[in-house]
Amino acid sequence: RPEPRDVVLYGFGRIGRLVARLLIEKAGSGNGLRLRAIVVRPGSGRAADDLVKRASLLRRDSIHGQFQGTITVDETHNKIIANGNEITVIHAGDPSEIDYTAHGIHNAVLIDNTGKWRDREGLSRHLRPGIDKVVLTAPGKGDIPNIVHGVNHHTVKPDEQILSCASCTTNAIVPPLKAMADEYGVLRGHVETVHSFTNDQNLLDNYHSADRRGRSAPLNMVITETGAASAVAKALPDLNAPITGSSIRVPVPDVSIAILSLRLGRETTREEVLDHLRDISLTSPLKRQIDFTTAPDAVSSDFIGSRHASIIDAGATKVDGDNAILYLWYDNEYGYSCQVIRVVQHITGIEHPTYPTPTH
């Protein structure tokens, strides 16, 4: 049985809090991943107020609902206690300020949810006393492995200390893309993601360093770039097909849809493609990544809380000869957070048993 492993969350935003929920949910056995600390920037108010606000954001969420269990705060020791798990809240402006061993944390995996550093040099700042590995919840730059669980997590070298879980959109398109490439071959592709707005955008028109993202998120459809297309090459290096992509942010708070348009290596039919993808979702090694729905009235809010990286909408699927268009729903917050947890479980050797037992 693997030894329990300490986990530290650096940043406690949308993804950080959902990852925290998932870690706490799986902590009951006592021999898995232990969320020991959360690192946040010092707030402008009193420390006690800051702690209560962080705990309150974990307890209630406008999209994902109430935390399942009890949360209390220990202001004396600066801790949040969630379902009995004591989580130290560390206030720091920079990784260099922290000695994790002083908090009793050793050999830990640090999950960086801030996206502030994307390259090896920047993320190496986290390799402080007590930290063994760093996982980034954003696309990594340079030679950092971009890992999509289910597709290329087996390629992580045991001694690799820094890796990325790519983006929510990359996780949504890479598993179905692999499923299609393995069966039909893919000559080229384009992904258009209709994406819920995020905290990176403005509530009302205001200055933003990126084009268009300064315009009001709840009032507009906003064309923006997506790094998902270029990230595909890192997760699927054997796929020689050019993949292009762009994104339109729309006024919904969560759940996005990726429209994946593919030129296949051979002609096929809609029925054959749907049979293939249904089988992939039920019996293949990608069954935790790919879900499949035939619901005739499915809309985005139906997929809030989905633990899959991608849900194929059978009714919207189009196939004409060697052209296929797949419509892939994904909870860009929760489904992605589940993929992050799977990667962390893999690199620590702490895989919770699932039934039926995988056959691969």
Q: pLDDT digit string (tens) for 283-340?
A: 999 999 999 999 999 999 999 999 999 999 999 999 999 999 999 999 999 999 999 9
> What count of Cα atoms within 13 Å lies in the side-chain half-sphere of residue 105?
31
In this prediction, residue 45 carries a pLDDT of 61
In this prediction, residue 2 carries a pLDDT of 72
| Count of Cβ atoms closer than 10 Å to residue 72 Cβ | 11
The answer to whether 19 touches 337, Cβ cutoff 8 Å, is yes
Determine which one of 168, 222, 243, 277 is catalytic: 168
In this prediction, residue 90 carries a pLDDT of 95
59: phi > 0 → left, psi -120 to 50 → alpha, else beta; which?
alpha
279 has pLDDT over 90? yes
Q: How far is it, in rounded angstroms, from Cα 32 to Cα 94?
A: 28
Domain extents for the chain? 5-138, 168-334
Under CATH, which number does the domain 5-138 receive? 3.40.50.720
Q: Which of 167, 170, 144 is nearest to 157 (CA)?
A: 144
CA-CA-CA-CA dihedral for 204, 117, 173, 295, to nearest 10: -50
Q: How many residues does the chain have?
A: 360
Q: How far is it, in rounded angstroms, from Cα 127 to Cα 109?
A: 10
168-334 belongs to CATH 3.30.360.10: yes
Q: At what angle do helices 334-348 and 168-184 cross, to 10 degrees?
A: 80
In this prediction, residue 229 carries a pLDDT of 77
Residue type, 97: E
159: phi > 0 → left, psi -120 to 50 → alpha, else beta; which?
alpha
The model carries a pTM of 0.95
Strands 79-82 and 71-74: antiparallel
How big is the CA angle at 286 (ends 283 and 292), to the nearest 5 degrees? Answer: 70
Q: Which of 6, 117, 23 is nearest to 338 (CA)?
A: 23
Q: Which of 85, 80, 30, 22 is nearest to 56 (CA)?
A: 80
In this prediction, residue 30 carries a pLDDT of 63
Q: Which of 315, 167, 191, 181 is nearest to 259 (CA)?
A: 191
Residue 165 falls in the annotated catalytic set: no
Q: Which of 240, 236, 238, 256 is nearest to 248 (CA)?
A: 256
Q: How far is it, in rounded angstroms, from Cα 56 to Cα 59?
A: 5
In this prediction, residue 43 carries a pLDDT of 72
Q: Percentage of residues in the chain with pLDDT exceeding 70?
A: 95
Residue 70 DSSP label: -
pLDDT category at 47 given cuts 50, 70, 90 is: low
What is the pLDDT averaged over residues 181-204? 96
The answer to whether 173 touches 309, Cβ cutoff 8 Å, is no
Q: How far is it, in rounded angstroms, from Cα 138 to Cα 147?
A: 10
pLDDT category at 122 given cuts 50, 70, 90 is: very high
- Which helix (H) or strand (E) element contains residue 37? strand 33-40
Q: How far is it, in rounded angstroms, from Cα 146 to Cα 144?
A: 6
